[in-house]
Amino acid sequence: MTWKTQHLMIKCINFINNLSLILVTTHQYIHLCTARTFGVHIYYVTMQELIIRNARIVNRGKIEEGDIWIRQGRIYRKGSFSGFAATEIDAQGKVLLPGIIDDQVHFREPGLTHKASIATESRAAVAGGVTSFMEMPNTKPPATTPDRLEEKYAIAARSSLANYSFYMGATNDNLEAVLRTDSRRVCGIKVFMGSSTGNMLVDDTNTLERLFATCPMLIATHCEDETTIRRNLEQAIARYGEAVPVQLHPQIRSTEACYLSSSMAVDLARRYGTRLHVLHLSTRDELALFENDKPLTDKRITAELCVHHLYFDARDYTQLGNRIKCNPAIKGPEHREALLAALLDDRLDLIATDHAPHTAREKAQPYLKAPAGLPLVQHALQIMLACYHQGLISLERIVEKMCHAPAICFRLKERGFIDEGYWADLVLVDLDKEVTVRPDNIYYKCGWSPFEGHAFRGSVEMTFVNGHMVWHNGQFDESRKGMRLEFEGWT
């Protein structure tokens, strides 16, 4: 038997019947095996192999106490078993969740790195238990060509602590490039049917018809009717001039604007059989467009809820102002209550963040100049745990909507579940430990959060990405990067 001698440590453990038991730890071997050479038992173990013991495992609608054995970055065994690993973690009293999959983030790279970068925001993500993300194309330049899209993947390969995918952006004139996108290696096509950060509005009716009729893969849409928004904004300026108050944001980016655009997208998808995913639903009026009469695996039209539309409502503008200005707008409490009900009855299929950081200086500008968007990816799980502690949702449903459903919705390969053979993307949570959000524990590059000073009940103690403990009680291990997500693809 041969082995690479680099990074080799040999420790004599004991002697049994004149046979030495030797532990060999090497960066080259991830599996545990045994060999007998010259009467010596040799075990090969790397630093990656570990067992998590006595965890309350939340998976597939159940909570069961057991162990997880991680090998070669994957879940090798689960249940209750005896075994040996280089590292064993006692998770007694804590819950183990699949890693959160966030299907909508804006990490601002390239071109807007004064706000954020893939490196900084992926750090914040894993600190919050998010192990995989799908990032939007409205960067500078926007990811609207295959070359620009691959440039983002190259940046992530060098710098992202979490697993990653990037949307291909649609415009009024890049349909041919969109149709060449490989659905096994790219999460989806992003269509801004209402303008947002960046200049990527797709408002040509013929383009939308052709896109929905011919695109074989998932189309994710931002739905707000631009004509309605412009009319509402003109009326607000006519009354207030440049001093339009932020409290008018949900009237400017109105319920009507959302419904007109969402209903158009759903109508196109039904007409052409398109695989449509409507992002960040924000109104009760739109909920009638979506169904819950079939399992998620069979749905061709799906919709998501973002954590800020569940946590905040229009009354919070008085205290937080532009910090919670986002598109689509946070609206009244009647909408928030209806959105939660639709999440629980499966008209809304999954939970995301729409993490969209801007600098504190940018957000401090008057309403008309302050950009829309807020940083959320680090605190999304804690927001949902707050809902759990209030009795609004169970742990099993949180895992369903933040882990299982994104994996099913996007046809993600071997992620989103704590199943044997799947990648070991895992989050260990102390449900009762209280964490106060402070500037020194905010990992966004922008350095601020709308939750500053708030104490969340629930702490992410450890995060594992592909079996690597990337986060542990305030410390990052950046020695390994995340992986490019792979998908089953669409036909």
Other Cβ atoms within 10 Å of 319 Cβ, number: 9
E strand spans, 91-187: 95-98, 100-105, 130-135, 163-166, 168-169
* 13 has pLDDT over 50: no
Mind listing the pLDDT tens digit for each residue in 335-351? 999 999 999 999 999 99
Residue 80: predicted pLDDT: 87
Average pLDDT of the chain is 90
Confidence of residue 82 (pLDDT cuts 50, 70, 90): confident
Distance between the two ends of the chain, CA-based, in angstroms?
47
185, 187, 193, 195: CA torsion to nearest 10: -90
Q: Which CATH class is domain 97-409?
A: alpha beta
Domain ranges of the chain: 9-45, 97-409
User: 3-class secondary structure for 320-343?
Assistant: HHHHHCCCCCCCCHHHHHHHHHHH
* 12 has pLDDT over 70: no
* 113 has pLDDT over 50: yes
Return the higher-pLDDT residue of 422 and 45: 422
Q: What is the mean pLDDT of residues 75-89?
A: 86
What is the spatial distance between Cα 26 and Cα 86, in angstroms, rounded to a whole number? 11
Give the tokens for residue 186: 């790219």
What is the spatial distance between Cα 43 and Cα 35, in angstroms, rounded to a whole number? 7
Query: Active-site residue numbers?
Result: 354
Residue 405: predicted pLDDT: 98
* 18 has pLDDT over 50: no
Confidence of residue 329 (pLDDT cuts 50, 70, 90): very high
What is the spatial distance between Cα 442 and Cα 364, in angstroms, rounded to a whole number? 19
* Strands 19-25 vs 40-45: parallel, antiparallel or unpaired: parallel
Residue 4: predicted pLDDT: 33
* 21 has pLDDT over 60: no
* 201 has pLDDT over 90: no
Distance (Å) of CA 270 to CA 144, 265, 290: 26, 9, 11
Q: What is the mean pLDDT of residues 371-390?
A: 98
Q: What percentage of residues in the chain have a pLDDT greater than 70?
A: 89
Q: What is the mean pLDDT of residues 356-373?
A: 98
What is the spatial distance between Cα 122 and Cα 254, in angstroms, rounded to a whole number? 32
What is the spatial distance between Cα 457 and Cα 445, in angstroms, rounded to a whole number? 24
* 29 has pLDDT over 70: no
What is the spatial distance between Cα 104 and Cα 460, in angstroms, rounded to a whole number? 21
For residue 95, what are the β-bridge partners?
56, 429
Q: How far is CA 445 from the centre of its chain?
A: 17
Residue 198: predicted pLDDT: 52
